[in-house]
Every structure is written in C-alpha cells, then in structure tokens.
Amino acid sequence: MKAELKGTGVALATPMNADYTVDYPSLKKLLDHIIAGNADYIVVQGTTGESPVFSWKEKLEILQFVLDHLKGSKPVVFGLGGNNTFDLIEKAKDLKDYPLAAILSASPYYNKPSQEGIVRHYQMLGDAFPHPIILYNVPSRTASNMEAATTLELAKHKNILGIKEASGDLDQCQEIADNRPDDFMLISGDDGLAYDIIKMGGEGVISVIGNLMPAAYTTMVNTALKGDYAAADKLNDDLCVVYDMLSEEGNPSSLKAGLEARGICSRTVKPPLYDASDAMVEKWKRYFKG
C-alpha cells in the first residue's frame, strides 16, 4: 500500500482559454488553491481533467507543467485508461522517466468486455506499465461494471495497488474491502460516498470537490480516517448540497462554473462538452456568499 496515496487525491480540472487551449496561469492558480487546502495528491488528466479531448502531446505537456509547479511537494497520479490495450502499453513507454506515484487506468469503455477480458486487459497493463496501477471502475461512463471478484483477482498482481471505485454500489465496495489483500487500496471515486467507503476500511478518495473546496473536503476525509465518525458525518452532511450542485449540469461543467464563481478559472469546457449556464454560475456565487 502506498501511504502517500492515502487521504484526498484531487482529480485536477484543466482550465481553458476561449480558444480551447490550456490556460496555464489559471492552472497554476488552481494548483495553488488545492495545495493550500492540504489535499494529499494530484491526479492529472482524469475524467474531470477532460482527458478524452486532449492529444497525447497535450496530456504530456499538462503533466510536465504540473510536475514542474509542484516540484515534488505532492505525489502525482496520471490518467491513462481506455479501450485499446496495446495502444495504452505503447503510450506508457513515454512515462517511464516521469516521477509518478501511480497511473489511474479506467476500465475499457464501449467494447463492453467480459469480466475475463477486463482481467486480461489489466494484467497486460500491469506487466507493461512502468508505474503501479490504480484500477478505475466507473460503469456510468464505460457501460461495463468491474465486478468485485474481478477486482479481487486483479488485486493479486504485484503492479496493481488499488482501485478507484465509482460504481456507486456500496455492497460491491464492502465485498472488496472484506476480501482484498492487506496492501490493496480501496479508494472512493465518488465524493458523496467517500465517508461510507472510509467507514468500511477504505483509504480515501479521488475527488472532484477537492478542486473547489479542498480545505473543507480534506478535513472531512481526514476526520473520517481518524475514526471520528460522528464529526465526519456532520461535515459530510454539510457538503451534501455541494455534491448535488457538482452533478447538476454534468462534470466538469458544473465544477468549472463553481471555479469561475470563485475567480479561479473560466467555465470553458472543450467540445463535445458544453459550458455551464449563467444560472449555474450564479447559483455557485450565492452558495459562496452564504
């Protein structure tokens, strides 16, 4: 188990200019905001970072910018998942010299592989990737659930260190928690379920809200990890309205509306996503005004 990946990882948004190029000054501002909120690590080019719409060259440029800015102050996880096993293996060769704590790899989408296909896919990645892998189960985006038995089989691989579980199925998460090896991490992929997953023994969360309210959210997560569930439950309840707002117009559109309301970056998202409404930005402004 990687202790440095326990707690709150932030699935970093990618600020953009009006012409859809990366807004690096705003990305710096966002990173500083997250660091000031005491998040434990940064996830670059996950779904929240709009990874499907960036070229490989752009992804590596974003990664390098983040690494240069952090200067080793926080661990970095990089998103590299997809439905072409051999393409991922080729791309991973370019990452061998990057100081990454892990690679977050989403389960194959669209192909709808069998559970046996998912196992073979990740075993091949595990054998080839130069960094440890965090599995990522997100059926709402992939149209394919990675069953608990599949996760537990993959947990035996020496280069697979954990799973980001975003199935929303707490029974499935509990089965993983109860039967996993001691060194295999169970990480929530849902801000609103992180408290429950930590209570069942999970090690933390890879978060969207951590972009927007890192201090409040990391406090809740750390309180739960310390076992003070009564206090953590109250903190979690206080954030429920934010969890709902973040999903109101989709992720990351709703998130970027909140970031614009906080003066961190614009709401611009890259097609085929669509920018959040003026009403969403105003709703965030009213929330932050209290």
Residues known to be catalytic: 136, 164
Burial label, 141 (beta-carbon count in 10 A; 0-12, 13-18, 19+): middle
Name residues whose C-beta falls within 8 Å of residue 247's C-beta, 6 or more positions apart in sequence. Answer: 254
In 118-224, at which residue ranges do the beta strands (DSSP E only) sit? 133-137, 160-165, 185-188, 204-207
| Assigned token pair, 94 | 């370019």
Q: How far apart are CA 173 and CA 196, in angstroms?
A: 10
**Distance separating alpha carbons of residues 246 and 228, to the nearest angstrom:** 26
Residue 136: which of 111, 160, 159, 100 has the closest Cα?
Answer: 160
* C-alpha dist (Å) from residue 96 to 20, 58, 103, 111, 119: 29, 17, 11, 28, 23
Q: How far apart are CA 149 and CA 91, in angstroms?
A: 28
Q: Are strands 76-79 and 41-44 parallel, antiparallel or unpaired?
A: parallel
